[in-house]
Structure 1
Amino acid sequence: MTATLIRGVLSTAALLLVLTTSACSLRPEDLPSVRGGLGASYEITIEFESAMNLPSGADVILDGIRVGEVRDIEVEAGSVAVVAVVAEDTRIPSDIRAIVRQNTLLGDTYVALVREPDSRVTGFLDEGGTVPLARTTSPPQLEDTMAVLATFVNGGSIQRVQDVMAEVNTVMPPVPEIRNLAAVVSTDLRDLAGRTAEIDRLLGGMNATAESVNANGASLATLFDASTVHYWRRLATSVVSHIGQILPSVGSLYNGGLWLVPMFESLADTTDISLSDTSAAAQLSELLRTTVIPFANHPEVDIVGVESASGETLADTENVLRVLGAVR
């Protein structure tokens, strides 16, 4: 019984020693990932100035998709080398940028691979490729983030934001008016969107006009060069001089020519004849042939009598006419 008990105790101690030794060499990255493996992959190195909050096993994200994970972090002189494995079918541009990000304050930290906005890809990272320190951005220290957050919360910033929002609400119109305004703006934008063809036609016409002006630029330039300046000067001088002569004449006619108004009215009534009426046209032709033209050739007036304003015939008519020069 005693020997058997001793052997059992020794076996248990040996088993505990083996388990303890094995447990000491087991690291978190040695555990299988619950998200599944990457399959065939290749290894790249990303250099950061600091990677304090980046754990081993963190995701590597490209275009919002998990393409790899961090396998090891090595401290070097002046930088930290993050060794990551990437799926074999992932092509990473050689000018990629790497940023250590965290979606929320307490969320998981990961490495985001960001493409350059205006990049022209000339190559891709291969096995053992490196993203240099110049194209990486290290994460802020957690202590600094917590200090900024504490200053924001305890410094009255939240209360000031609330006060600003309250002031904005006091100057904003009532909600029904805002809804009516939004409805009007929505209708206007919908009408504008439905008439883009007219806008395109207007822009097309303006573009055609600009192209025409540009094509005839040499001809248009001759209108204002030194050889044609004298023409425009003479034209301006002539126009101004004629206007200067006409305006005083019109003014004198207006001021001293009121006596012509009855004559103009009578002339207008006389010439108000419809030429579509054949009888009126014949009468006009007869008047011109028998009266107007002969009078124009030999103007004379036959005085057959003289009466006073009261209608009485003057006795000495012949003497009066002789005085007037109508009778010789």
Structure 2
Amino acid sequence: MKMTAVSIKLALYVVISVLAGVVVVNTLTDPIGHATDDYHAVFTDAAGLINGSDITIAGVRVGTVSGVRLENGLATVDFDLREDQRIPADARAVIRYADLLGARAVAIVPGPGGAGDLPPGSTIPVERTAPALDMTSLFNGFKPLFNAIDPKEVNQLAGELVAVFQGESGTIASLLRHVVSVTATINSKDQVIGQVLDNLTAVLSTINSHRDDLKALLDGLATLTDNVAASREQIAAALDSGAQLAGTLSDLLGDLTPTLTRDVRSVDALAQTLLRNSDGIDAVLAATPGFFADLNRAGDYGSWINIYICNLSVTLASTPTDLGVGPHSAVCR
């Protein structure tokens, strides 16, 4: 029972997949949907035609290309046409652009009429066929015009150009109206173009009035360049000397680093000592004016002050400085 349910689900999946595939293939291939007759046409150039390209009469899709082959230096295009459609015996086959993306289609253009119809299997000779228009040459010729108009109008104008040059005379009036519109757009910008030209004239006039200064500037630059080129050896030597000096300074700093470090540490220790004894230093500084005042009074009365240093020892930043064993004065001996 379980296997039966699995089989049913598998069958449904296969059927749905096949139907979806058929729909996709039918959508992509876009079949004619009628019985067809085969015809042939010979072209000097059939570039862009592939199997499935459209065959149109009066703009209506009535067939598809079934094959393209090379025979005697000419391209023979095989195509299938709906059997309810007929090709006049004097009809022409023209390869046209189906869109601006490059797709091609074969258009059957009826002749004057009265010559009957081509029987199925017939071939339209090369004398009554025309290859596709060379779009590259066409649009290169209109490139300045395309650069001057609004980008939104380029596609419309390009389509009308292709239609006109492929023989669809009904669009000539539309093309002319579009060209007139483009001309009006360019004419509306005449004032802006005139201002640009006036500004350019002013710039050129200014440059022309200072042509001697400009020439002198250019000559000076040329002289400077020549002098730099002539002194390139001295400049290179100076750069080398600078590099050598930098290296020497680096070595000197490397040698002085230990000593500088020690000195900086000593200064730091001195500063710490002075900071710790700031109260005593403040007291000494405060008593100094009185001391000198008393000393001055003693000198005023004619007294003589004799100071004998029998021994002196100074401690600076925890480093004692001793003048040696005294006494140094004869009075102290």
Which of the five TM-score ranges fits, normalised by the shorter chain?
0.3 to 0.5
As a proportion of its length, which structure holds more helix?
2
Which of 1 and 2 has higher RCO (CA within 8 Å, sep 6+)?
1
**What TM-score comes out, normalization by structure 2 length?**
0.36
